[in-house]
Every structure is written in structure tokens, then in C-alpha cells.
Chains A and B, each alone.
Chain A
Amino acid sequence: MDLTSFYNQFREETTENMRVLGDGLLTLEGAEDEAVRRAAIDRIFRAMHTIKGSARMLGFEAVGRLAHALESLLGELRQGQRSLDRPLADALLAAGDAILVLTVATVEGRPAPVDVDAIIAGLPPPTAAPATAPAAAAPTPASPPTPAPANDSSAPPSPTPARGTARQTVRVRVDRLDRMLNLAGELVVGQQVLVTHAEQLTALQQLVERQGRALVALESELDRLRFSTAQRHSIDVRLQDLRVAADAARTLAQHQGERFARHASQHEQLVQDLEQEVMAARLLPIATVYAGLPRTVRDLAQATGKQARLELHGESVELDRKVLELINDPLLHLVRNALDHGIESPSERQAAGKNPQGLVEVSAETTGGEVRVTISDDGRGLDPERLRERAIRLGMIVASAATTLSDVDALDLIFQPGFSTAALVTDISGRGVGMDVVRTNLTELGGQVRVESQVGQGTRIVLTLPLTLVTTRVLLVQVGRSTFAIPAGGCYGTIWVQRSQLRPLEGQPTIEIEGRTVVVLPLADLLGVEGTSPLAQRTRAPAVLAGSVQRPVAMLVDALLDEREAVVKPLGTLLEAQKRYGGAVQLGDGGLVLLLNPLLLAHVARVSAPPPPTEARRRSRLLVADDSFTTRELIRSILQSAGYEVTAAVDGTDALDRLRAQPYDLLVSDVEMPRLDGFQLTARLREEPALRDLPVVLITSLASEEHRRRGLEAGAQAYIVKSQFNQESLLDVIRQLLGG
């Protein structure tokens, strides 16, 4: 996770919450009405509580500690164990100011300008009633916040100095960016149309010139003929008219042609720039995927009894969001592998004269249009001989072939499906599904994986990735024995065509869709591929809808295989003339699939309005309820990048309304919320038949056993404490609850 944007959000949110504190305290001092006073105390308490929760989540330890101290005091105030006098109000306001100053300083990467411990010591001591403290989990300064930033987790959370000087930013939803990228892509297609128009204008110009030459020829021909004076005069007048019109036509054609060509080329430049800018807006620092690694290494080292240090380099290297998403798992897998298979046990390392503590290094660097991510370890390395033996044993190669296999090729064996070098299948790695998946993921991205190793010295795995991806959403369809990709932007959905629905119209089979007549055409015919119509043997077949208003078309295919984002590659200069293809899409297994040209499809068929809904692949829909903007967005972003469709609710009541209005698969909720808290919300859900079985995950800073029990009693399936929060565990829980 790149936490930078959350830091800024947190600063804004804290500023707002401090205003709530100030206003609330003023209300308390002035108000007599008990109900008003109660509401004000509740409001302040929640504000402080939110700050505490968010600060802990972001690893702002000092802010969290101070907020916790204030929250305790406010808790006593709420319980009526303490009354608000002037000194207490002053102390609260001063401490609130300190929180704000501290937050801003931490966000901007400056050292703490105030002494937190002195401020806490200066606060009125808690009354002797410890059981009523709202949060039992006092943060211990020795334990680092769990979702630590990518740097060394033993260091205090000192943000990088660059953060404060960062340029102004604005948060944009990812789907908006994607939409912008799509629109930019549409413009690129439109640009191609402009180029065609320009060519037509040039052709027109040539025609006009030819016409002019023909006119001159005609004139000289006529000059040689004999006419009466009257005839000659009449001809001259006509010729003069023609000449004038021809001149005007030529001038106009030439001017318009030139102007249009100039405009088209300027436009092309702009469209390219726009596309690049939008692409750049999708770039995120690789630190986002580094975030989970330190914890992984620590846990794994503990589980395997090894000693290892993780070094991360190049955190600021930026990659397309899509690329980051796709390398997240491979990177995690490779780091696990490095530790599990690479690094030896401390005793083994000592015997080999190495530092008992192994080193796993992950670095990223940009070179040209590529990013190179290297995962290296100083472990035992890969032994080509052992790899050969294993490949023979697994029956992947015959013994004679193994001997001729070069060391480099032998190392490449680890990318074979089902190949794993761990003698024992462990829980951690060695399931043999890893390396081939890594290669598959990388190939799909248009990247590469390379492995280098020295026995006894260590292993280096180099991932080469494209900086940005021009991905296109494509539909993979099967026609005969071949697979083709259709740009999703060029079609409007998929349908099943029943043979019994077919009605011949003007010699063509058609069907009725939403009251409109649609021509049914096998895609095989369009491509000139041999094969019988999918409807020849079967009573129904899938079809892709495309078409113009005048001529909607349902293109019959043998099967709809998949819908996915794909990197489109050009076919090269030799096949340029094959206008029907827009390029080729590489599948994970290295196979190629031809992409049908969207322009060609547009010809066959352009927009049939209104488009029928596309059968989108169903993603799990989650609702996140949290009154803290920072926490809400943090969780939302974690869940979204894990591929879930996420909606947010600002409190329990809002969540309940949304859950009643639309179906959701799971609820992630905060406990402390205005109007309806997490416990109440859960209890309410359990009373409603339609929502009774909805899985609920409560996330809270209330860590006490009693609260946990209350949560589970209310019917929550899981209870995650903010101070122990880490995105992996949240995602694991959600995956389990959604049934994998």
C-alpha cells in the first residue's frame, strides 16, 4: 500500500476532528441541557476515537498515544466520573492542538515538535477506575505498528522528507482514471478515422487535378475544331465557367486538404500526449507492493527457524497500477521462495562460512521503457545438476536430453509447471505451482522472468516489466478450433441465440432483440474461416452483439471463453495489409490470439442503441462502514486492489439502508460509529431474514475481550483489532468468509 495519500487524508480528517473537539468543549461549557451535553461529549469522544484508530493504522504512534490519553479522559467524562472544569477543558484543548501539530509534522516528515510524554504527564491523572477505560489495549511503545511502511519496521515511523514538499494532489477514483484511459483510447481510434478522411481529401485533390488536366485537353481539342462564331462564343462562355469552377475547386480541395492534414497531425500529437498523461496518472510507486514484504520475511523466518534480513531498494520506482496488481503475488512468492528454498539454516550458513543471518534483497530500477525488479538472496543457490535429476525423475525430460541441457536451460526448468525443488512440500512454498504462475503472470503483462544462480552463492531472479500497459478489454471467443479476441469496446454484449428464434428476412437469418431485428452472422464467415455454423449442430449458440443502428449484427461463435484486460501487440510491418486484425494478444501460456480490428467490426456493425447489458463477470460486492474517512478509504482501497467491488457507508444507519437497498456479499464495519454502532448494526442484520446470513467483519480499536465477545454475540463472523490490523489478515478473513 502506498500510504502517502492516506497521510494527507489523515491530516485533513484530524484537522476536522480537532474542530469538533473545540466546538464540543465550548458547547459543554455553555450548555445546561443534559441531552445537549451528552451529545456533545459523544461527538468529541468519537472524534478522538477516530483519530486514535486512524493514527494506529497508519503507524503514527505518538499521535495514537496522545489521542488514547485524551480518549481515556473523555471516556471518564462520558461515564460521569469526572466533570468538565476549566483546567480540564484547557488541558484537552492544548493536547488537541498538540495532536494537530504532531500530525502535520509527522505527515510532512519533520521531527516531533512537541514532547508527547510531557503532555501526557501534564494531563489530569485518570480516576481510579481502570475497568471503565474505553480501550483496554494501551499501546506499548516497544511494539511497532503492524501495517508499517516499507522501511525497516524497527525504526520509528518517520515519513520520508519528500512527502512535505510533494506537489499538490487530488484524489481520483481509479475507475475514473480507467474511464479516462478508455476515452483516450477511443480518441486514438477516432484519430485513425481522421487519418482516413485526410487520405480521402488527398484523393479528392488528385481527382480535381485530373479533372483540370482533362479540361485543358478538352479546350485545346476544341480549339482545333471549326465552329461558327456563335457556337465558338457559346463554347468559350461555357469553358470559362468550367475553368473558374475548376480553379475554385482545385484551390479549395488543396487548401482544405492541407488544413485538414495539419489539423489531423496536431490532433494526433494531442491525443498521444493525452494518452501518455492519463497513463502516467495511473502510475504508483512500487512501495505499494513492497509493503507486505517485511512482515512476510519476519513471519517466515520465525516459522522456519532461519535468520534473514530484507533490504528494499527503489521504492519510488513507479509502475502502472495494473502491473503492480499483477506482480504483487509473484513478488510475494519469490521472496517467500528466496527465504524458504534459498536461505540456509543459521548453522548451515555458519558451517559454510557465511553470516548466519541471510540477506534477501528486492530492488527496482527503471531502464528505458522497462522496469526491472530483482529478487536476490545469498543462500545456497540452484544446482543445475539437481534440477536436471529432478526433471528426469518427474519425467519432464529424458536422461539423454538432460545431459545436453545447458546450465542456463537447466535453471529455466524451475518455470515448468509442477516443478518444485523443495524435497518436502511445506506449507510456505514448495507446492510447485509457484514459478510457472510467476512466469505466466509476467508473460501476460508482456514482461519476462530470468533466473541466475551460483551454487552456494545465491540466486537472482530478474523480472522485466513494461512501465505502462496499453491494455484493452477483450472478449475471447472460440471459432472452430481457433481463438479470437474482440475488443470489448467494439461490441455491446453477448447473447444466446436459439435456433428456433431465427427468422429469415431478405435471405438472412435474423432474431428479435428488444423489439429490434438483428442479423445473425457466424463470425467464421466474417473471417473467412472454414467451419459449419455453430447453430448447425446445436439448438443454441452464443453470439457477440455489434452493429450499427441500421444494421445490428449478432456474430455467432462456438464459445465465449473469457473477458479480460490484455496487452495488444502489433502484428508487424509484413502483416500491415491485414486490416481485419488490430494486433495480437498474448496469453499467459505464450500462445497468441488475433485481435479483430475494432474499425472492421465497426463497419460490420456500429452501435445498436440501447445496448443490452453486458454479462459482466460477477465480483464479490462488499460494503465498508466506517465514520472515519481515512479508515474507510484505507480499507476500501485495500479491498478494491484485492479485486472486490466496494461501496462505502458513513455510519451504521447508512450501511443498513444500503444493505436493504442492494445485495452485498459481505460487510466490513467499524464498531464506534454515530447513529448506529457496529454491534447494533450487526444485531439488526441478524433480525432481518434477508440479511441474516450476511457475513460481518468488525474492525475496531476496542481490543478488550469483552468487546470481542459482544461482537461475536451480536453475530459478527470476525473481529479485527485496529492495532493488530494488517491487510493480509483482513483479506484472508474475507476470502474465507466468502468461501474462497
Chain B
Amino acid sequence: MADTSQAPSATSKPTSGERDHLVIRVGAELYALAGTCVREIARWRVPTPVPGAPAVIPGIISQRGVVLPVVDLRLALSMPATPPERSTRLVVVQHEATDLVLLVDGVLDFIPVAVAAMAQPPAALDAARARLLTAVARHDDQPLGVLNLAVIIAAVREGL
């Protein structure tokens, strides 16, 4: 119950039309990031570790002269971290004054998602994970969790 009361807090936007989303793969699951917050997609490179930072931040990288923290989205979503592969990507995102890089297992596509097709995350979902979602949609018959960047940032901050 607590899940449903938290999740929609950031979705009180007009429910019409479509919004572009970046579809990413984390583990075997698909997630979506609001296109408006995605700045850039870069190939994997080894971040500089920051001793003392939580495990969810494997380190920092320099992207176009700016130092950015890398957040391992797998760990944020309570999934095991796996070694980087060819498909591993770094997605540079921005939310308000915070810039960060999300480490994902793959970037699939940039697709429009109809606002009407976005449903509230099912109550059956693991609470910690559901908290990070604003909504659930579908992509090619697969469930697609729409990520709530504000909550992800807040969650990472809590761990600091």
C-alpha cells in the first residue's frame, strides 16, 4: 500500500499525448528514462573509484571536461552488478541541478510512450524497486518500468 502512495507523486502531469523515452536494459529487464533528462550516451569506460562512496556509485568519470558521478542502476534496482560487456553504456542524465551518469547494461531505443499507456506500478512489485518508478508501460510485449530520476537521486543521496 505504501508503494502506491509514493509512486504517483511525480506523475501529476497532464495525461495526454506521447513522451519520448529512452529504453534501457538493466539485467534482463527493460526500463525507460524520460527523454527530456537524457543528455548523452557514452560507451563504457572505467570510472575512477571514490573511496567512502556507497557501492551504488562505482566512481566518477570526466565527460567533456565535467566531472560526473556514475550510478550503477543495477545496484540501485537491487540487482547484482555484472562485469561490463560490449553493450554496457553510460547514460548522462540531468535532473534539476544534478548531473550524473547511469550505468546500464544496454541502450535499446528512443521511443514515444503514450501517456495514457502508463499505468501505476503494480502493488506486487518489490517495494524498494517500485519506489524508483513513476509508472509502468509496455514495450514489445515486455513490461517497461519508467524510472523516477528524482527518487533515484534521493535514494543515492540517502546512501551517502
Bound together, the chains give a CA A569 to CA B68 distance in angstroms of: 10
Taking the closest CB of chain A, its distance from the CB of B90, in whole angstroms, is 14
* Interface membership of B51, Cβ < 8 A: yes
A527 touches B51 (CB 8 A): yes
B28 on interface, CB distance cutoff 8 Å: no
A583-638 interface (Cβ within 8 A of B): 583-584, 586, 590-594
A sample of 19 more A-B contacts (CB under 8 A), given A571-B67, A573-B97, A575-B60, is A482-B49, A528-B52, A569-B62, A569-B66, A569-B67, A571-B69, A572-B69, A574-B69, A575-B57, A577-B160, A583-B67, A584-B60, A584-B62, A586-B67, A592-B61, A593-B48, A594-B48, A594-B51, A594-B60
* Number of A positions contacting B (CB below 8 A): 26
Is there an interface contact between B52 and A578, defined as CB atoms closer than 8 Å?
A: yes
Residues facing A in B117-160 (CB within 8 A) are 153, 156-157, 160
A residues sitting closer than 8 Å to B (CB atoms) are 446-448, 482, 527-529, 569-575, 577-578, 580-581, 583-584, 586, 590-594
Binding site for A on B (CB under 8 A): 48-53, 57, 60-62, 64-69, 71, 97-100, 153, 156-157, 160
Is the CB–CB distance between B48 and A584 below 8 Å?
yes
Max chain B CB contacts within 10 Å: which of A447, A529, A573, A575?
A575
User: Min CB distance, B8 to chain A, in Å?
Assistant: 25
- Does B98 contact A573, Cβ atoms closer than 8 Å? yes
Contact of A572 among B49, B64, B100 (CB under 8 A): B100
Instruction: Specify which chain B residues have a CB less than 8 angstroms from the CB of A527 in the assembled complex.
Output: 51-52
List the B side residues contacting A584 at CB < 8 Å. Answer: 48, 60, 62, 67
Kindly state the separation between the CA atoms of A580 and B53 in the bound complex, as whole angstroms.
10
B100 contacts across to A, CB distance below 8 A: 572, 574
From the candidates B48, B49, B66, B157, name the one contacting A574 in the complex (CB within 8 A).
B157
> How many Å lie between the Cα of A571 and that of B47 in the bound state?
13
Q: Which chain B residue lies CB-closest to A448?
A: B65
B67–A572 touching, CB < 8 Å? yes
Please report the C-alpha to C-alpha distance between residue A6 and residue B69 in the assembled complex, in whole angstroms: 48
B48-A591 in contact (CB<8A) = yes
Q: A581 contacts which chain B residues (CB < 8 A)?
A: 50
What is the CB-to-nearest-CB distance from B54 to chain A, in angstroms, rounded to a whole number? Answer: 10
* Cβ contact within 8 Å between B98 and A574: yes
Residue of B51, B64, B68, B71 near A529 (CB, 8 A) is B51
Determine if B52 and A592 form an interchain contact, defined as CB atoms under 8 angstroms apart. Answer: no
Listed by A's residue number, 10 A-B pairs whose Cβ atoms lie within 8 Å are: A572-B66, A572-B67, A573-B98, A573-B99, A578-B50, A583-B67, A584-B60, A586-B62, A591-B48, A592-B62
Which residues of chain A are near B68, meaning CB under 8 Å?
572
Complex alpha-carbon distance, A616 and B98, angstroms? 40
The complex places the Cα of A527 from the Cα of B67 at a distance, in Å, of 20
CA distance A571 to B66 in the complex (A): 9
A570–B97 Cα distance when bound, in Å, is 13
Complex: A571 Cα to B67 Cα, angstroms: 6
* Docked-complex contact A528 and B51, CB < 8 angstroms: yes
Contact call B50/A574, Cβ cutoff below 8 A: no
Instruction: Return the contact of B52 from the options A580, A583, A591 (Cβ within 8 A).
Output: A580
Q: How far is the CA of A581 from the CA of B61 in the complex (A)?
A: 15
Minimal Cβ-Cβ distance residue in B for A445: B65
Is A574 in contact with B52, judged by CB distance below 8 angstroms? no
Determine how close the nearest CB of chain B comes to the CB of A571; give it in whole angstroms.
6
Residue of B nearest to A567 (CB): B65
Find out whether the CB atom of B60 lies under 8 angstroms from the CB atom of A571. Answer: yes
Question: In the complex, are the beta carbons of A592 and B67 less than 8 A apart?
Answer: yes
A590 to B47, CA, bound (A): 11
- Nearest CB of chain A from residue B155's CB, rounded to whole Å: 11
Asked if residues A575 and B97 are in contact (CB atoms below 8 Å), the reply is no
Contacts of A446 on B, CB cut-off 8 Å?
Answer: 65
Given contacts A570-B67, A572-B69, A575-B53, contact A592 B99 (CB under 8 A): no
CB within 8 Å for A594 and B69 given contacts A574-B156, A577-B160 = no
Q: Which residues of A contact B67 (CB under 8 A)?
A: 569-572, 583-584, 586, 592
Q: How far is the CB of A514 from chain B (nearest CB, A)?
A: 32
Please, how many angstroms separate the alpha-carbon atoms of A298 and B69 in the complex?
49
Partner of A575, one of B50, B62, B65, B66: B50
The residues of A that contact B153 with a CB separation of less than 8 Å are 574
Give CA–CA (A527, B60) in the complex, Å. Answer: 17
Which residue on chain A has the smallest CB distance to residue B64? A448
The 10 closest A-B pairs by CB, nearest first: A577-B160, A592-B48, A574-B69, A569-B67, A529-B51, A573-B98, A584-B67, A527-B51, A575-B69, A592-B62
Contact of A578 with B48 in the complex, beta carbons under 8 Å: no
Residue in chain B with minimal CB distance to A530: B51
In the complex, how many angstroms separate the beta carbon of B76 from the nearest chain A beta carbon?
A: 12
Q: How far is the CA of A570 from the CA of B62 in the complex (A)?
A: 11
A187 to B8, CA, bound (A): 47
A528 CA to B53 CA in the complex, in Å?
10
Complex formed: what's the CA distance from A577 to B156 in Å?
Answer: 11
With both chains docked as a complex, state the minimum distance between the C-beta of B58 and any C-beta of chain A, in angstroms.
Answer: 13
**Which of A529, A571, A593 counts the most chain B CB atoms within 10 A?**
A571
A101 to B67, CA, bound (A): 57
Contacts of B51 in A (CB 8 A): 482, 527-529, 594
Closest-by-CB residue of A relative to B153 is A574
Which of A447, A573, A577 counts the most B-chain CB atoms under 10 A from its CB? A573
Q: A569-B66, A570-B67, A592-B62 are in contact. Are A578 and B98 (CB under 8 A)?
A: no
Q: Smallest CB-CB separation from A479: which chain B residue?
A: B51
Q: Is the CB of A590 within 8 A of B62?
A: yes
- Chain A neighbourhood of B71, CB < 8 A: 574
B49 / chain A contacts, CB cutoff of 8 Å: 482
Indicate whether A592 sits within 8 Å of B60 (C-beta atoms), given known contacts A569-B67, A574-B98, A575-B50.
yes
A572 and B65 contacting across the interface, CB-CB below 8 Å = no
Q: How far is the CA of A34 from the CA of B62 in the complex (A)?
A: 76
- Let me know if A578 and B53 touch, CB within 8 A: yes
Q: How far is the CA of A570 from the CA of B51 in the complex (A)?
A: 16
Residue of chain B at shortest CB distance from A575: B69
Query: Which of B48, B67, B69 lies at the interface centre, i.e. has the most chain A CB atoms within 10 A of its CB?
Result: B67
Chain B residues whose CB sits within 8 angstroms of the CB of A586 once the complex forms? 62, 65, 67
What CA separation (Å) do A9 and B7 show in the bound complex?
72
Nearest-Cβ distance from residue B87 to partner chain A, whole angstroms: 16
Complex contacts, B50 vs chain A, CB 8 Å: 571, 575, 578, 581, 594
In the assembled complex, which residues on chain A have CB atoms less than 8 Å from the CB atom of B64? 448
Complex interface: chain B residues within 8 A of A572 (CB): 66-69, 98-100
Residues of chain A within 8 A of B53, CB atoms compared: 575, 578
Shortest CB–CB separation between residue B96 and chain A, in angstroms?
A: 9
Chain B nearest CB: distance from A121 CB in Å? 63
Contacts of A592 in B (CB 8 A): 48, 60-62, 67
The CA-CA distance from A581 to B51 in the complex, in Å, is 10
Chain A residues whose CB sits within 8 angstroms of the CB of B99 once the complex forms = 572-573
CA distance A572 to B157 in the complex (A): 12
Residue of A nearest to B70 (CB): A574
Task: Collect the chain B residues with CB atoms within 8 Å of residue A583's CB.
Answer: 67
Complex Cα spacing A487 to B142, Å = 52
Bound: A447/B62 CA distance, A: 12
CA distance A329 to B52 in the complex (A): 40
Which residues of B have CB within 8 Å of A570? 67
Q: How far is the CA of A571 from the CA of B68 in the complex (A)?
A: 7
> Using Cβ atoms and an 8 Å threshold, which residues of chain B touch A482?
48-49, 51
